[in-house]
Homo-oligomer: A and B are copies of this chain.
Amino acid sequence: MDRLEHFARLSADDREALEAATAGPVLSVRPRRDIVREGERSRVANLILDGWAFRYKTLADGRRQIISFLLPGDICDPYVYILQEMDHSIGALTAVRYVELGRDKIEALTSQHPRLTQALRWDGLVAAAIQREWTLNLGQRDAIERLAHLLCELFFRLRAVRLTDQNRCEMPLTQSDVAEATGMTPVHVNRMIQELRARGLIRWKGREVEVLDMEALCDVAMFNPNYLHLNREGAHLDANG
């Protein structure tokens, strides 16, 4: 849960409450299994401890779109219990370990800990901002820009939770996964990866990516990290929220 510290410095008390709330049983899913399915009723938020998950939606004829990626430290939907049923599914990309936070635990946290309340709100705002950026990505960027942008986003998010090592990071996505996230065909994703390789911007071998020229990659993507709001933004808020 270091992730929330990106928003504000939490007190020892805050951290303790957080530890307590997330101390429930740890659940595990195998890779490529669903965690929640569209149409089901979901009553709990999920906090990802490790592994990658993703939200997705499917059309009647089988076309599938990955809507967003959930990385360690991400909290999905603290308030889903309000809705009658899920309008999308969440699947595990890798093996995922997570804890469920019921309504009671969320409320225990938020009623006693204003900074945690704000931190949760921050998390929700960032998730919304990411979704907006994906809308821009799919609507306006061309294939190579979309691919570069996805890589930039994932790298920045992973770095924020200390899951990068220099310029390298784990990359469990297959090219088909990238295709489903960027609205391209797998064949075209492959060609675009070749292109980024040819330009000397990345290495991508097995399940690992190395960014060889971050600046150039960001340029290609027209990547502006402002939407990730990673700069300890809550610093200006006092302890009352």
CB pair B84–A222 under 8 Å, yes or no, is: no
Which A residues between 82 and 108 are near B, CB-CB below 8 angstroms?
Answer: 82-85, 87-88, 107
**Is A166 an interface residue, CB under 8 A from the partner?**
no
Q: B84 contacts A133, CB within 8 Å? A: no
Q: Within 8 Å CB of A180, what residues of B?
A: 139
Of all chain B residues, which has the CB nearest A233? B84
A229 touching B183, Cβ below 8 Å: no
Q: How far is the CB of A160 from chain B (nearest CB, A)?
A: 16
User: Is A234 among interface residues, defined by CB-CB distance under 8 A?
Assistant: yes
When A125-B80, A131-B128, A132-B57 are in contact, do A85 and B140 touch as well, CB less than 8 Å?
A: no
Does chain B have a CB within 8 A of A186?
no
So how many copies of this chain end up in the complex? Answer: 2
Residue contacts A-B, CB under 8 angstroms, 13 given: A7-B82, A57-B132, A64-B140, A67-B132, A67-B136, A82-B121, A82-B122, A82-B125, A87-B226, A127-B128, A138-B138, A139-B180, A139-B183
State whether the Cβ of A69 lies closer than 8 Å to any Cβ in chain B.
no
A134 near B135: Cβ-Cβ < 8 Å: yes
**Best-surrounded residue of A83, A125, A229 (most CB of chain B within 10 A):** A83
Per the bound structure, the CA–CA distance linking A50 and B141 in Å amounts to 32
Cβ contact within 8 Å between A67 and B222: no
Name 12 extra pairs, CB < 8 A, besides A57-B135, A131-B135.
A55-B132, A59-B141, A61-B222, A65-B140, A67-B136, A68-B132, A77-B125, A83-B122, A87-B132, A107-B241, A138-B183, A139-B181
